[in-house]
Structure 1
Amino acid sequence: MNVNKYRIEGNKQLKLRDYSPSEKHDYSEKELLEKLIPESIDRLKELHWRLHAEEKKGIVVVLQAMDAAGKDEAISYIFSNLTAQGLKTTSFQKPSDSEQKHDYLWRIHKALPARGQIGILNRSHYEEVIAPRVHDLLKEESVPDEKEKEETWAVRYRQINDFERYLTENGFEVVKFFFHMSKKEQKERLLERMKNPKKNWEFSFSDVEERKHWDSYQDIFEDMLNHTSTEYAPWHILPADDEWYSRYIISEVMNKCLEKIDPQFPEISQENKEKLDKYIKLLENEEN
């Protein structure tokens, strides 16, 4: 798979309407489920083991989308296969009273991975340039000094880019996925959650309320992608109406990122190797 097809170059001014939420591809669902995704995840598991063992670098994964676009399912079907010790997952909701007393990136720091970990942000710092803008929730104390309210978003875009550059320059790759879903597909998924008793727990009444602002969200997503897809922290736009194909893209993008890092299992020193050989013989000769 050519994952670069879904990567947004930093100097490209895109129109979200030019990207289809679904696309024709050469893979059947059976092939994706039984062959391609399992093989891709096996490779991801191996590379993640190396990353965790080496403990030199980490990866920050950003998942951003409208409700029901498939973020949670991507975590369940892909990342849950990885070793738990090397994984950190954080879901972001509306900021708490305590979080609102700090700068808007403050709560993100607690969710960042350690070296040797993949940190998954289910929603992220990008919420702070989306929801407050849709609902006009920006408080006066959040407006940068000597700036008009509407200038805040450009300032935050720059700050987010600087923040992500800081992470990458300090050994933490930033991989971002935008789940591009059609309004029709969201309707079908929300109705399934509402009508199926086993899925009622996944539904929130706010999902339908937020749907009323669909066009505003799409405009803001487009603006966000254009201002924050950089060479060092690019966005990938997923055709999210096709859930399994999107999961395959995610796993392949992650593999490409890890292959670039090329983590290796640490080599034991000669001194410890001799000691290891000694202890191996000690255990082998131990009487049961």
Structure 2
Amino acid sequence: MKDINIDQFKVTQPIKISEVNTSISLDADKKEKKKALKKTRKKLAKWQDKLYAHGKYSVLVCLQGMDTSGKDSLIREVFQGFNSRGVVVHSFKTPSKRELRHNYLWRHYVALPERGKFGVFNRTQYENVLVTRVHPEYILGENIPHINSLEDIDEDFWETRMNEIRDFEEGMVDNGTIVFKFFLHISKEEQKYRLLRRLQRPEKNWKFSPSDLEERKLWEEYQNCYEKAINNTSTEKAPWYIIPSDDKKAARYLVAKILREKLLEYEDVQEPSVSPEVEKNIDEYIAALKEE
């Protein structure tokens, strides 16, 4: 398999999303990619055990992408080796009535992972500058003071929202949350193929909704909103990674590889030392148990 430099996927300067590749060659067949993922996720799961014992950091993995980009299957494949107590997945759908009675970031804040754990956001706080930007009428349901009509939702509104999201993420990081943001980047042609597969395979029919086709008509608007969001919110503390995702197996491996390599940079994450009392008397404790 080709050696991959993970920094090539990190957004460090403004990007033109139409110029970013949706596919990548790893010089590997399906079996090799599956094997590479298995090896990497096993190491990642071991690191999570250490994170849990250390208890000072948490990890937040944010996944965004167009419909059919592979978020659900990526979560299943990348995190399947984790201890179930060590990872919590949240899928953010249309806000509930209760959620709409709070600031738009509230439901994301209360879902943040506790120290020692991974949190995965399947769709994220960025829905608030993506879906709502394509469909600004949704903003009216938030009952925000001074927002009484669509005319009140101008460019300054979206810029303020992105500033708030940046502040939200900076606060997370400053308090011990390691933030990863992945945009699973697929082509319009690949989405068409995946939607057709959902329709042509009976066991996949449940995944399809007529609204998928309506949203597909807005492809260019969504791409434009993603571009603006990524360019305005990729920071050193909470960078975006754009993952070529036309090949699901390659995308899963790349996400796992980035997580693994970047988390190893946190060299202070170690298992706690054994207390002097336990270390001194460990043989005695073993003997006592064996004599029961």
Q: Same fold per TM (> 0.5)?
A: yes
Alignment of 1:42-81 (within 5 A): 42-81=42-81
Given the alignment, which residue of 186, 194, 199 partners 1:194?
199
Aligned to 1:5: 8
Mapped to 2, the partners of 1:29 and 1:80 lie a distance apart of 19
2:59/2:117 contact within 8 Å kept:
yes
SS in 2 for 1:64: strand
Match status 1:180 vs 2:181:
no
Aligned to 2:225: 220
Mapped to 2, the partners of 1:141 and 1:29 lie a distance apart of 49
Aligned to 1:210: 215
SS in 1 for 2:264: helix
Mapped to 2, the partners of 1:136 and 1:99 lie a distance apart of 18
Alignment of 1:110-259 (within 5 A): 110-137=110-137, 138-139=139-140, 141-142=143-144, 148-150=152-154, 151-259=156-264
SS in 2 for 1:60: strand
| Deviation of 1:257 (Å) | 2.6
SS in 2 for 1:142: coil
Mapped to 1, the partners of 2:158 and 2:264 lie a distance apart of 34
2:63/2:122 contact within 8 Å kept:
yes
2:11/2:242 contact within 8 Å kept:
yes
List structure 1 runs of 4+ shifted beyond 6 angstroms: none
Structure 2: runs of 5 or more not aligned: none
Identical aligned residues as a percent: 38
Aligned to 1:279: 285
Mapped to 1, the partners of 2:22 and 2:226 lie a distance apart of 14
Structure 1: runs of 5 or more not aligned: none
Moved more, 242-251 or 252-261: 252-261
Mapped to 1, the partners of 2:132 and 2:273 lie a distance apart of 49
Mapped to 1, the partners of 2:146 and 2:47 lie a distance apart of 42
What is the root-mean-square deviation in Å for CA atoms of aligned residues?
1.6
Aligned residues: 282
Mapped to 1, the partners of 2:153 and 2:96 lie a distance apart of 22
Given the alignment, which residue of 245, 269, 273 partners 1:267?
273
| Deviation of 1:144 (Å) | 6.9
2:62/2:123 contact within 8 Å kept:
yes
- Residues 1:115 and 1:186: Cα distance change in structure 2 (over 3 Å): same
1:48/1:258 contact within 8 Å kept:
no
For 1:41, the aligned partner's letter is R
| Deviation of 1:28 (Å) | 2.3
For 2:170, the aligned partner's letter is R
Alignment TM-score, normalising by the size of structure 2 = 0.92
Mapped to 1, the partners of 2:176 and 2:215 lie a distance apart of 37
SS in 2 for 1:112: coil
Mapped to 1, the partners of 2:231 and 2:163 lie a distance apart of 12
SS in 1 for 2:56: coil
For 1:168, the aligned partner's letter is V
2:136/2:153 contact within 8 Å kept:
no
Moved more, 269-278 or 40-49: 269-278
Alignment TM-score, normalising by the size of structure 1 = 0.93
SS in 2 for 1:56: coil
